[in-house]
Chains A and B, each alone.
Chain A
């Protein structure tokens, strides 16, 4: 038995844009994130990065592309090797891909920590000794280390306290600031069921249900005039209103 996780999904990500992909559980949004980050292969259809179809690229060409699409997950505890220090986690890709010496790597790591609001002194700490919010910032720092063109956050804020979510949301707002030159500004795909945070920090929205895109457009437009029932249910859920007047099977 097969499950159609994604069904005829089509959309375009322009450089430097901020897009929210929202939907209830099972809507397919995490499968979509995995496909975009080259972690899963679509059964049909194409994913083109800078005009090149990923399916027709060789492994070595894909190795060049993967670093440009970075994914941050919900559970940062699983994302890091627990015996590595913060410095070791950040410098790993630079050891493999650059000729920087250890002093230079340390400086760059400290700079990167500064970008995500973490203090330099944690370079020597093990990731297991950091709080959830710190680990998530570290995951974003690691993602930024490779200067990606696309940063995908898959429920990356959902497990955090609201005050910590606010800090990281501000970091994401800064990353995508229009005053930064386009070449240095990653596109941000914010995948979540938390419509409120999505609406606050992104400009466009894609609403998914049962593997399909059911609505999309500029965030403000869609929030004010939602056309699809799934969008209205998400808005109702976020506004503190029950959606029981919309006929839905109980889950």
Chain B
């Protein structure tokens, strides 16, 4: 069956002012099926945000695509003209960021802002748009919907603003929502509520979600599949429960041990050091000859510095780019 969205061998580089380049994505490929939640887990510089932006063909001016395709139901978004892309963005594929304030006009009531999105993409009349938005806000805000509809962004809390950004992103019933660190500025209780809302929307609307984050614990019980990125490449991918509980790639394993877990702390309070990933973050100014993680990898072999491994099947059913498993 054709996936909802497919990225094929996408490579993106950024041109820096000093003439250097940043290799943000290197021949990255992935598939998203209808209605599935895919978590993209990675740290700064992993390429996760570039990947998210590329699904909407949204690149900053200094970005250059060095090959690859982004296929939405078979059509390559990277080949579309600007006006054709405008029809896709917001109506077939939408995006929410970490700072909902960026997406919201400060001097316009939020209900109206959501209606504007409908106006841009549909031929519904004003009354129909209003009804639709009010109904959407009812389902998201419950008894607070009326007050929220009439509010300005500054009158809402961070969590409420993010809910409005989500409403704005889904009002035209897109099939894919890209969420780039949408809960990073929210407290942990509100974070969980936003995740619950997204999960509900997935079920009700068969909405696929690409959830980009560095906060691995958010993906547990939320994402269907997880992809782990490092230095512009996907290094491990598989069922969320398996990747997060039985990680196979040395980077994924190292990353998961850096983050303390409450259960561990409750049972044995430990003031010894938290494990860290040794070495420095990868230098993205040149293409890597071998595996980008090799300099920091405790299981590094000779071949790791010679070429990049291909994907192999790991024990937990995931696919891993690591010579430990073949490659």
Residues of A in contact with B (beta carbons under 8 Å apart): 23-26, 131-132, 159, 161-167, 169-170, 173, 193-197, 199-201, 219-220, 223-224, 233-244, 248-251
Contacts and interface: CB of A to CB of B under 8 A. Distances in A.
7 contacts: A161-B214, A162-B258, A166-B259, A197-B260, A237-B192, A242-B192, A248-B189
Given A240-B217, A249-B144, A251-B159, A199 B191 contact: no
A5 to B, nearest CB: 15
Contacts of B217: 196, 240
Contact of B261 (A163, A169, A196, A234): A196
B274 A170 contact: yes
Nearest to A169: B274
Interface string B138-160: 00011010000000000001111
A63 B191 CA distance: 40
Contacts of B272: 173
A141 to B, nearest CB: 18
A235 B214 contact: no
- Interface range on chain B (Cβ under 8 Å from partner): 35 or more
Contact of B189 (A131, A164, A169, A243): A243
A197 B264 CA distance: 12
Given A237-B192, A242-B193, A162 B144 contact: no
Contact of A166 (B142, B188, B192, B275): B275
Nearest to B98: A159
Contacts of B260: 196-197, 199-200
Given A237-B189, A250-B141, A163 B43 contact: yes
A172 to B, nearest CB: 10
Contacts of A239: 262-263
A196 B259 contact: yes
B259 A170 contact: no
Q: Sort A-B residue pairs by CB-CB distance and give the 3 closest, nearest first.
A: A237-B188, A251-B159, A193-B187
A24 B276 contact: no
Given A170-B274, A170-B276, A240-B220, A162 B259 contact: yes
A201 B273 CA distance: 9
Nearest to B263: A239
B306 to A, nearest CB: 26
A219 B270 CA distance: 12
Contacts of A26: 157
